[in-house]
Amino acid sequence: MTVGERRALLAILCVDAALLAIVELFYLPLRLDGTVLPDLGGAPFPISAVLALVTTPLLVSQAARVGAKASIAGAPLFVWFVVLLIFGVFGPGGDNLLIPDWRTLLLLACGALPSAIVLGGALGRGLGSPGQQAARMPSAR
């Protein structure tokens, strides 16, 4: 894969992360109240957290295939988090889309924690085994 193809793929992954963050914000206040979903007593329906739990780690793992550096592999996670905060606090028309509720914390936890674990695993695989690390390190003489 050429450098241009890698940059294009990373840009696509970052755009996907931004779009997913916006979609997750819009579906954050979804409830089972009979308006959009069936009426089951108005209970909160945190589908946004499930979407973040599945998609954000996938984006990070695909970005880790593009490059093993932390700045490359973590770019979708960083974009997702920044877009989530910017659009959540300064949403369309100045609306605050981050609701002061447990669903916001669940969304942040389900998107960031599994992605950070995937990022750490990808960076750990990039380092190689301890024997390979010792062979790469210069001897202290």
Per-residue pLDDT of the chain (141 residues; tens, 9 = 90+): 788 899 999 999 999 999 999 999 988 888 877 677 777 787 788 889 999 999 999 999 999 998 878 888 999 999 999 999 999 888 777 777 788 889 999 999 999 999 999 999 988 887 554 544 444 445 554
- What are φ and ψ of residue 28, in 5° steps? -60, -45
Burial 52-83 (b: 16+ CB within 10 A, else e): bbebbbbbbbbbbebbeeeebbbbbbebbbeb
Do the bridges between strand 39-44 and strand 31-33 make them parallel or antiparallel, or are there none, so unpaired? Answer: antiparallel
Tokens, residue 100? 């002061």
Residue 132 confidence (pLDDT)? 47
User: Which amino acid would we find at residue 71?
Assistant: S
Q: How many helices (H) and strands (E) does the chain have?
A: 6, 2
Taking the C-alpha atoms of residue 22 and residue 107, their distance in angstroms, rounded to an integer, is 12
Tell me the pTM. Answer: 0.81
* Size of the chain, expressed as the number of residues it contains: 141
